[in-house]
Amino acid sequence: MLPKSFMDIVAAEKARFWRGSVRLAMIMSMLGLAVMAGIVGMIFVLYGLCLSLAEIMKPWEAGLIVGGGMMFFAAILIMIIAAQGHVLRLEGNAIPIPKQSDNDSTAEFGSKIGDIIAQSNVKRSDIALTALIGGVVLGASPRLRQQILASLTDLIKSTGK
C-alpha cells in the first residue's frame, strides 16, 4: 500500500531515521564502555604484573620493566597507526577539499563578519561562550530552531530578489 501524502512519506522517513540514530547511539555507547572496560582491565593486568615482578626483583626494577613494556607497546601502536595513515594518503583515498569559487557569497559574508569581529573589542572567549549557549538553546528547542530557520530562509529569499 502506497502512502497517501507527502507528509506520510516524510513521517515514515523521520521515524526510520530516529530508529537508526538511536541504534547508532546505543552501539557507540556500548563501544565506549567496552574501551573503558578494556583500559581498566589492562591497568589491573599491568599492576598485577608489576606486583609479581616486585617479588623477585627490586620494586623500581619491576616498575621500570612494566613501564618500559607499556611505552614499547604504545610506540608500536603509534607506528602502525601512522603507517596506515601514510598508506591511505599514498593510495589517494583522502577526501579532496573543495575549492571555493570566486563568487561564493557565503565566503564573502564570513570574511565580512570576521573583519567586524576582529575590529571590535569582543574577546574570543565571549564569542565561544555565546556560540555554545546559542547551540544549546537551539538544540533544546525545536520550535525556536524552526522559527529561526524560517526567518533565515525568508531573509535569504528577500536578499536574493
C-alpha–C-alpha distance, residues 35 and 31, integer Å? 6
Same domain? For 78 and 13 the reply is yes
Q: How large a percentage of the chain has pLDDT more than 90?
A: 3
pLDDT digits (tens, 9 = 90+) for 41-77: 888 988 999 899 989 999 888 889 998 888 988 888 8
User: Which of 62, 91, 120 is the endpoint of a domain?
Assistant: 91
**Residue 1 within any structural domain of the chain:** no
Same domain? For 55 and 131 the reply is no
pLDDT of residue 23: 80
- Which structural domain, as residue segments, surrounds residue 150? 105-160
CB neighbours of residue 145 within 10 Å: 13
Mean pLDDT value of segment 84-90: 58
C-alpha–C-alpha distance, residues 87 and 66, integer Å? 32
C-alpha–C-alpha distance, residues 4 and 8, integer Å? 7
Burial 25-64 (b: 16+ CB within 10 A, else e): eeeeeeeeeeeeeeeeeeeeeeeeebeebbeeeeeeebee
Higher pLDDT residue, 110 or 49? 49
Question: What does the mean pLDDT of the chain come to?
Answer: 76
Same domain? For 24 and 82 the reply is yes
Instruction: Return the ∠ at Cα 144 (arms to 147 and 142), rounded to 5°.
Output: 110
Q: CB within 8 A of 99, min separation 6: which ones?
A: none
What's the domain count of the chain?
A: 2
